[in-house]
Chain A
Amino acid sequence: MARIIVVTSGKGGVGKTTTSAAIAMGLAKAGYKTAVIDFDVGLRNLDLILGCERRVVYDFINVINGEASLSQALIRDKNCNLLYILPASQTRDKDALTFEGVGKVLDELSKEFQYIVCDSPAGIEKGANLALYFADDAFVVTNPEISSVRDSDRMLGILSSKSRRAERNEEPIKEYLLLTRYDAQRVKSGEMLGLDDVQEILSLELLGIIPESRSVLSASNAGVPVILDEKSEAGQAYSDVVARYLGEKRPHRFIDGKQSFLKRLFGGRS
């Protein structure tokens, strides 16, 4: 049985797709057979970030509609043979994504894969709800600014009430915070919220802080997930995230020295 991870946020442009590609690659590199699915119908770009856009023949919706089999639609990553991408359709109508259809595809993937990463579209509409519905774990991607934090909080409400686990009264989705595009300089100058400000509102288990880094853009231009760029801070931060998710204890980095309030964090506000 696969573990299903949704990468979600509410707000757009915060780094969901960047994160989905990075952690899917990280999990595959760690030896787990991993599939990453683009739920952003009409705005697909996961395939671009993974550099497989020219190999897309069939997509997620083709599979749902029975026009292609999963094995026809899955694209094997060029850098890691345990990673597979199920691209979104650029042309189809969003309504083609249905609960039954998505459920069936995830069931089938679950038989073969160990992790399934769902890259959620922005918003709180059907696409985002579908991406999270079947999840076991949620990576809540948040930027250190108030609107993003608010939207994440909203998403957390949906995660705890409108998921399959919630509907079946099962153990709730495990929620993790990923603070991305974190610019320590701008936090210091008060232009951006700090980690403790964000945690004050969200109170989530922190999986990692991804610094704002130019290497993200060059990685996506090159079609190679930034996690493979071992020299970049963002890449290292994503490696930490995957390691922590898999149970390893690693100290948080890239917050800029101030370790004192981390203690408070680990002490855990309820």
Chain B
Amino acid sequence: MSNNTPVLEFKSSTFFAPILILFNNDMIAIEESLQEKINLAPEFFKDSPLIIDLRELNKHQQDFDFAQIAQIVRKVGFFPVGIRGGNEQQNMQARALSIPVDPGRDQANSATQGEPQKQDIAQQPTAQPEPTVANEAAQAVAASPPAAATTLINQPIRSGQRIYATGDLIILSQVSAGAEIMAEGNIHVYNTLRGRALAGVHGNTAARIFCFDLQAELISIAGDYKTSEDLNKQTYDGPVQIYLQDHALIIKKIA
């Protein structure tokens, strides 16, 4: 054929995939806790690609069979698309399963995890009146990578749509019932929140949710959640903030 229209093209792009960080080699506990997280946001995780991070695990030299964890995440509905922080044997197992190995250029991160940086603590939105929360914030900062950029959205989030932000998430429009917004950091909704909002999804217990009009189906911070059944018991006229205190979600009016 003598036509010269190209058959293909490479484009550089980024691709979103959640990272699963394992702390412990108890397969049963892992599966249970994975399933729990998925139940919180089944639509979001369904058929999601997943990167498995073994750094923490290997730091504590725990024995670990990578093939088995790959099987578990597949079973609960993920598609493992990468491994990082694995040792030689785990990397080999991954390659045998056609799962790419990330060379892990940010390995250095783990070295700086001991001391929280003052500056980071100052940036946390937690106020002084709740010293316990501030304390937790410090720990959360210590454990998390450098703060990701804020995601700003100004169109409505409709039923069936989901948004995931690696940092803070700011939404200027309404979030409909049946929509799902998730952030590793804080969530701000400057309008009516009717859908599901999950902040601190990677375990940041200092994350907060702020919204103008709370009519949510579900709110969650770092895995602790309330459903609309709990929320409907009280109406909040006007803006509220939601934060975590001793594993309880506190909803407070912003005067």
Contact = CB atoms under 8 A, between A and B. Distances in A.
Interface of A: 124, 150, 153-154, 156-158, 160-161, 172, 201, 203, 270
B226 interface: no
A158 B160 contact: yes
B174 interface: yes
A154 B159 contact: yes
B160 A270 contact: no
Interface in B128-175: 155-161, 172-174
A154 to B, nearest CB: 4
Contacts of A270: 172-174, 191
A157 B155 contact: no
Contacts of A172: 155
B179 interface: yes
Interface of B: 155-161, 172-174, 176-179, 191, 194
Contacts of B194: 201
Contact of A157 (B158, B172, B173, B191): B158
B122 to A, nearest CB: 33
Task: Kindly list the 6 A-B residue pairs having the minimum CB-CB distance in the complex, ordered from nearest.
Answer: A157-B158, A157-B161, A154-B159, A153-B159, A156-B158, A154-B160
Given A172-B155, A270-B191, A157 B160 contact: yes
A201 B191 contact: no
A157 B43 CA distance: 15
A178 to B, nearest CB: 17
Main secondary structure of the interface of B (DSSP, over half): loop
User: Considering residues B155, B160, B172, B191, which has the most beta carbons from chain A within 10 angstroms of its beta carbon?
Assistant: B160
28 contacts: A124-B160, A150-B159, A150-B178, A153-B158, A153-B176, A153-B178, A154-B159, A154-B160, A154-B178, A157-B157, A157-B158, A157-B160, A157-B161, A157-B176, A157-B179, A158-B158, A158-B160, A160-B155, A160-B156, A172-B155, A201-B176, A201-B177, A201-B194, A203-B174, A270-B172, A270-B173, A270-B174, A270-B191
Contacts, number: 39
A150 B177 contact: yes
Contacts of A124: 160
A154 B158 contact: yes
Nearest to B173: A270
Contacts of B156: 156, 160, 203
Given A153-B159, A158-B160, A270-B172, 20 more contacts: A124-B160, A150-B159, A150-B177, A150-B178, A153-B158, A153-B176, A153-B177, A153-B178, A154-B160, A156-B156, A157-B158, A157-B159, A157-B179, A158-B158, A160-B161, A161-B161, A201-B194, A203-B156, A203-B174, A270-B191
Nearest to A160: B155
Contacts of A160: 155-156, 158, 161
Nearest to B155: A160
A27 to B, nearest CB: 27
Contacts of A161: 161
B216 to A, nearest CB: 14
Contacts of B176: 153, 157, 201
Nearest to A161: B161
Most chain B CB within a 10 A radius of its CB, from A124, A154, A157, A270: A157
A153 B179 CA distance: 10
B172 to A, nearest CB: 7
Contacts of B161: 157, 160-161
Nearest to A155: B158
Contacts of B172: 270
